[in-house]
């Protein structure tokens, strides 16, 4: 009987402890977060790669259409450093699958060719001038399966050259000063540190965007560089930090999470041997208590879009901003 009483007392104390630490308001990760939409508001549209299902991904054409036609609030993309020190937008570290660097061959032939990494054309090995010679809308197909930009001659006029980070800022700075950006520094090591420096110096030329960009990375050393050298920039949660945040929420001990990121960028599920479903209201609520924005990627189907909208997330990243706009318009 005494043993049962002790166990009961321990459980009671543990329950009270968990209740208290969940009632204590946690400190905000950031004081002012432009990526949090606020209670009752619809999530923002983030054009993943500029909206690669609607226009040639990561081109100025795609970015322009995303803003002008689909009304996206956020442009999302990855940044790589060229051989001569320019930051350019591209999803992969090589360009073969999005432009005509290999001449007039099919995309299937390109993919087969690129299985051997030695055949790939890497951004780090090319200058900006060399990269601008290629048509980054070459393999894009419209709804009818037509490669409508295959034979474009004036690449600059159509916005089909590779785009630099400065070009994108300059494109929208006067017309869309409230535009938001999600970028990921893809290079690691010294190249990644140089990319951070160039991004920061570019933002010095467009100061209004300095508070409207969130920077992410998969490299621990670049995360540390961002923290140490550019503490004024908002940061997205790297994979390990995001996982720690999720686990503390699952266990109800989020008070002990010491992270300081601004945006939790997660898929709806994650496979770690077992499938963890991350599209849960509790994660959004707990993140909002710390003024963290919750951004889901990459959502291209209507059913999932509706579920996330009704859960009250802050942002949905999609390759199809046209579809997401249509869905959001119904809610409006």
In this structure, is residue 112 part of a structural domain?
A: yes
Domain range spanning residue 113? 94-161
SS3 276: strand
> What confidence tens digit (pLDDT) does each residue in 110-168 have?
999 999 999 999 999 999 999 999 999 999 999 999 999 999 999 999 999 999 999 99
Residue 248 banded pLDDT, cuts 50, 70, 90: confident
287-303 burial code (b ≥16 CB/10 A, e <16): bbebbbbbbbbbbbeee
Residue 26 banded pLDDT, cuts 50, 70, 90: low
Number of folded domains in the chain?
Answer: 1
Q: What is the mean pLDDT of residues 86-94?
A: 98
CA distance 203 to 196: 11
User: What does the pLDDT read at residue 133?
Assistant: 97
Q: What is the mean pLDDT of residues 209-229?
A: 96
In this structure, is residue 40 part of a structural domain?
A: no
By C-alpha distance, which of 287, 285, 266, 289 is closest to 276? 266
Residue 318 banded pLDDT, cuts 50, 70, 90: very high
Greater confidence, 230 or 249? 230
In this structure, is residue 178 part of a structural domain?
A: no
Alpha-carbon torsion (241, 246, 252, 255), positive or negative: positive
129-147 burial code (b ≥16 CB/10 A, e <16): ebbbebbbbbbbeeeeeee
User: What does the pLDDT read at residue 4?
Assistant: 52
In this structure, is residue 107 part of a structural domain?
A: yes
Tokens of 23: 């009632």
In this structure, is residue 78 part of a structural domain?
A: no
In this structure, is residue 139 part of a structural domain?
A: yes
Hey, how many other C-beta atoms are within 10 angstroms of the C-beta on 244?
15
> What confidence tens digit (pLDDT) does each residue in 186-202 have?
999 999 999 999 999 99
Residue 23 banded pLDDT, cuts 50, 70, 90: very low
In this structure, is residue 152 part of a structural domain?
A: yes
In this structure, is residue 146 part of a structural domain?
A: yes
Tokens of 215: 């920077």
């Amino acid at each position: 009987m005494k043993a049962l009483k002790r166990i009961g007392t321990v459980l009671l104390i543990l329950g009270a402890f968990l209740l208290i630490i969940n009632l204590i308001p946690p400190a905000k990760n950031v004081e002012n977060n432009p990526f949090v939409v606020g209670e009752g508001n619809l999530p923002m549209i983030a054009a993943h790669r500029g909206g690669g299902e609607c226009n040639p991904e990561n081109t100025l054409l795609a970015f322009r259409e995303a803003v002008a036609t689909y009304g996206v609030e956020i442009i999302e993309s990855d940044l790589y450093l060229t051989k001569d020190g320019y930051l350019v937008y591209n999803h992969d570290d090589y360009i073969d699958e999005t432009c005509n660097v290999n001449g007039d061959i099919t995309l299937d032939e390109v993919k087969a060719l690129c299985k051997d990494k030695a055949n790939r054309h890497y951004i780090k090995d090319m200058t900006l001038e060399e990269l601008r010679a290629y048509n980054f809308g070459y393999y894009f197909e419209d709804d009818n399966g037509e490669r409508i930009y295959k034979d474009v001659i004036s690449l600059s006029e159509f916005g089909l050259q590779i785009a630099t980070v400065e070009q994108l800022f300059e494109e929208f700075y006067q017309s869309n000063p409230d535009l938001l950006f999600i970028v990921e520094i893809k290079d690691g090591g010294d190249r990644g540190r140089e990319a951070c420096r160039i991004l920061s110096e570019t933002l010095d030329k467009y100061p209004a965007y300095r508070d409207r960009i969130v920077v992410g990375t998969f490299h621990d050393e670049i995360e540390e560089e961002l923290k140490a050298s550019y503490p004024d920039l908002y940061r997205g949660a790297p994979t390990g930090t995001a996982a720690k945040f999720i686990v503390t929420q699952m266990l109800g001990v989020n008070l002990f999470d010491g992270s300081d990121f601004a945006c939790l960028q997660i898929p709806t599920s994650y496979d770690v041997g077992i499938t963890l479903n991350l599209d849960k209201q509790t994660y959004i609520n707990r993140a909002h208590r710390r003024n963290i924005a919750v951004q889901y990627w990459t959502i291209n189907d209507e059913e999932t879009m509706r579920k996330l909208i009704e859960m009250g997330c802050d942002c949905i990243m999609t390759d199809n901003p046209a579809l997401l706009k249509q869905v959001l318009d119904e809610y409006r």
